[in-house]
Structure 1
Amino acid sequence: MTVEEAAKYLFVSRAHIHKLLAAGKLVGRLPEVPTGQPDIDVASVETYRTEMEAAQRAYLDSQTEDNDPLGL
């Protein structure tokens, strides 16, 4: 998967994909030519997306009024 494809799939910028690669959150193979794009592992993109969706769900669940005592 290319950087552009990963960015579109995750709804982020290409610069953010490069940051995720540098941080080790996405797995990519370095390009064979110095000016080429890295080849990103599809499984790591799927894993990252699943983790982000779970974190978003957990945050939204923690923000509901169900967690407040009645009458407040």
Structure 2
Amino acid sequence: MTVAEAARLLFVSRAHIFKLLSSGALLECLPRNPSGQPDIDVTSVEQYKSKTDAAFRTWLDSQTEDNDPLGS
């Protein structure tokens, strides 16, 4: 998967994809393609997306009025 494809799938910038690669959150397939751009492991992108989606759902579920009623 290219950097642009991963960025589109994760709704982030290409620069953020490079940060995720350098931090180890996403894995690069070696060797690099002939243009010098990294090929990103599709499985690592899917795992990262699942993890961030789950974290977002957990946060969203915690944002109910039942947890913090108005006027309290």
Superposed pair shares fold, TM > 0.5 = yes
Aligned positions, number: 71
| Mapped contact 2:33–2:39 kept (Cα < 8 A) | no
2:2 is matched with which residue? 2
Question: Which is helix-richer, 1 or 2?
Answer: 1
The unaligned stretches of length 5 or more in structure 1 are none
Q: Against the structure 1 CA distance between its residues 68 and 21, is the aligned structure 2 distance closer, same or farther, given a 3 Å change threshold?
A: same
- Structure 1 segments, 4+ long, off by >2 Å, are none
1:24 is matched with which residue? 24
Q: CA RMSD in A?
A: 2.0
- TM-score for the superposition, normalised by structure 2: 0.85
1:54 is matched with which residue? 54
The unaligned stretches of length 5 or more in structure 2 are none
Distance (Å, rounded) in 2 between the aligned partners of 1:51 and 1:17: 15
Distance (Å, rounded) in 2 between the aligned partners of 1:65 and 1:26: 36
- TM-score for the superposition, normalised by structure 1: 0.85
Q: SS at 1:65's partner residue?
A: coil
